[in-house]
Amino acid sequence: MVTLTSHSPQETYEMGEAWGRQARAGWVIGLSGDLGAGKTQLVKGIAAGLGVMDRVHSPTFSILNAYQGGRFPLFHIDLYRLSTGAEIAQAGLEEYLHSPPGLTVVEWIDRWLPDSDPMAIPSQPWNPGGLRRVWMEWLGENQRRIAYEDFGS
């Protein structure tokens, strides 16, 4: 597991931007962290790294925002308002979690994947495209601890 400390929202954005430049279609990036941990700021950077020009915002109420115009589509999902695998399936989100046609970034991934087994997805085997599991922690006004681990390809 890699652990980094961001000292500003700009550093968090730049980390995401680097990840977006490295991303491949089929990847899923799952974010865990409390409110204010910087999840959406990281996603904004990922979008920039993909070349997405649209304004990125949290899909807390819409659950899914799709962005085109980059190297491939970006699907930004927020599971905060969903609490079970059945609700996630009923919302039609499984395709974005198992075999996305672009890059999927999921805020509140812990609603879908238990921390104890990051490969245990409720209804299907994990997409071999790859998973980056990210834990974000608020340390102070401008500091965030960001730890991540890659699974799959």
The structural domains of the chain, ordered by start, are 2-151 (3.40.50.300)
Q: What is the pLDDT of residue 123?
A: 42
Q: Rounded mean pLDDT of the chain? A: 88
Q: Cα separation of 73 and 9, whole Å?
A: 24
Q: Cα separation of 71 and 59, whole Å?
A: 21
Q: Cα separation of 23 and 29, whole Å?
A: 10
pLDDT at 124 over 90: no
pLDDT at 88 over 80: yes
Q: What is the pLDDT of residue 105?
A: 97
Report for 25-34, 79-88, 92-101, 125-134: range of highest mean pLDDT: 25-34
Q: What is the pLDDT of residue 121?
A: 47
Q: Cα separation of 90 and 92, whole Å?
A: 5
Cα dihedral sign, 80-75-150-125: positive
Rg for the chain (alpha carbons), in Å?
14
- Of the candidates 28, 16, 25, 40, which has an alpha carbon nearest to the alpha carbon of residue 94? 28
pLDDT digits (tens, 9 = 90+) for 28-43: 999 999 988 999 999 9
Helix (H, G, I), strand (E, B) or coil at 92: coil
